[in-house]
Amino acid sequence: MKKENKSLTASMEDYLEMIYRLSVDTGFTRIHELSSALNVRPPSATKMVQRLAELKLIKYEKYGVLILEENGKLLGSELLKRHNIIENFIKIIGVDETNALEETEKIEHTVSTKTIECIDTFLHFIEENPDVLTQYYQYRFEHTSEQ
Amino acid sequence: MKKENKSLTASMEDYLEMIYRLSVDTGFTRIHELSSALNVRPPSATKMVQRLAELKLIKYEKYGVLILEENGKLLGSELLKRHNIIENFIKIIGVDETNALEETEKIEHTVSTKTIECIDTFLHFIEENPDVLTQYYQYRFEHTSEQ
DNA sequence: AAACAAACTTAGCTAAAACTAATATATTTT
DNA sequence: AAAATATATTAGTTTTAGCTAAGTTTGTTT
State residue A58 phi and psi, 5-degree precision: -140, 160
pTM of the predicted model, to two decimals?
A: 0.83
Q: Which residues pair with A12 in a beta bridge?
A: none
Considering chain A, what is the average pLDDT of its residues? 90
Assess B39–A contact: CB distance below 8 Å, yes or no.
no
Per-residue model confidence as pLDDT tens digits over A57-116: 999 999 999 999 999 999 999 999 999 999 999 999 988 888 888 888 888 878 888 899
Find the helix packing angle between B70-92 and B97-108, rounded to 10°.
130
**Residue pair B26/B36 in contact by the 8 Å Cβ criterion:** no
Contact A132 B132 (CB under 8 A): yes
Instruction: Give the tens place of pLDDT for each residue, B63-98.
Output: 999 999 999 999 999 999 999 999 999 999 998 888
Reference A61, options A49, A77, A72; nearest CA is A49
Domains in chain B, CATH or no CATH each: 10-75 (1.10.10.10), 77-143 (1.10.60.10)
Nearest-CA residue to the C1' of D21? B43
Q: Is the pLDDT of residue A122 over 60?
A: yes
Taking CA–CA distances from B89, the nearest residue in chain A reads: A119
pLDDT for the residue B2 = 33
- CA distances in angstroms from B33 to B16, B19, B42, B53, listed in the order given: 13, 9, 9, 17
For residue A67, give the nearest of B49, A76, B6, A84 by alpha carbon. Answer: A76
Q: Which nucleotides of C are covered by protein (CB under 7 A)?
A: 7-12, 16-22, 25-26
Looking at residue B114, its pLDDT comes to: 86
Distance (Å, whole) CA A112 – CA B40 = 22
Looking at the DSSP assignment, which residues form a beta bridge with residue B29?
A: B66
Distance CA A144, CA B133 (A): 22
Q: Work out the angle at residue B95's Cα, subtended by the Cα atoms of residues A103 and A131, and round it to the nearest 5 degrees.
A: 70
Name residue B68's beta-bridge partners. B58
> How confident is the model at residue A3, as a pLDDT?
31
> What's the pLDDT at B141?
94
Q: Is the CB of A2 under 7 A from strand D?
A: no
Per-residue pLDDT 10s for chain B (147 aa) are 333 345 899 899 999 999 999 999 999 999 999 999 999 999 999 999 999 999 999 999 999 999 999 999 999 999 999 999 999 999 999 988 888 887 888 888 788 888 999 999 999 999 999 999 999 999 999 998 655
Percent of chain B whose predicted confidence (pLDDT) is above 70 = 94
The Cα–Cα gap between B16 and B22 comes to 10
